[in-house]
Amino acid sequence: MPRTLQRSLLLLLTALALLWAAPSGAFAAGTGGIEITPDSGTGPAQTAFHVKVPSRGSVSVGFFLRNVTGAKVTGRLYATSAARDAAGHFSVGDAGSAKGVSLKETTVTLAPHEVRHETFQVSGKVSGTQYRAIVIEVQHGAITERAATVVYLTPGRRVPVPVVLGTVAGVLVLVAGVLLLVTRRRAGRSATGPS
């Protein structure tokens, strides 16, 4: 067998092995054919949003909206407050009640099997663990169906690293400036001093 062919087969087998090892299953949940899947990036997949909120600034959180049907689907997307009872079960509030979560309430329409990437912003001081939810809502006459995915908010870094670095850099510049000033004054005094 030619060496090139051998190498190709080896690479192909490696690729197949990687595919075999690829995780299956899914974590999304939804209603009316629309599902919300938290975008966990390179981290492990999650069934809910787990967000570390910096004490200053905001953090952007991604998610996927997916039409799991072969027909066009429409739903209302918004963020809400959420509460957890002593038994660990959740309830959610009305649209617009999600303090600190910026997600414009909107009606989304997805083409058959369309997947769309969306984001929401989280800001504000968080202490302990707080809860919000991202909701997809569909209306069927007198029935409103809502599928909510919980957002867990926990405090991030107390002061973001860029702020710390900026502060340190500022102090260093200040110290260097003072030293330069002192050195020049001393040099000036030496030049004009009594001979």
Q: Which parts of this chain interact with another protein (CB under 8 A)?
A: 3-4, 7-8, 11-12, 15, 18-19, 22-33, 35, 45-48, 68, 76, 82, 84, 88-96, 133, 135, 137, 139-150
Comparison of 19 and 191: residue with beta carbon closer to another protein: 19
Distance CA 195, CA 97 (A): 79
On whether the CB atoms of residues 103 and 127 are closer than 8 A, the answer is no
Min CB(188)–another protein separation in Å: 52
Comparison of 29 and 163: residue with beta carbon closer to another protein: 29
Min CB(42)–another protein separation in Å: 15
Comparison of 54 and 148: residue with beta carbon closer to another protein: 148
Distance CA 21, CA 17 (A): 6
Burial of 35 (0-12, 13-18, 19+ CB in 10 A): buried
Min CB(32)–another protein separation in Å: 8
On whether the CB atoms of residues 51 and 41 are closer than 8 A, the answer is no
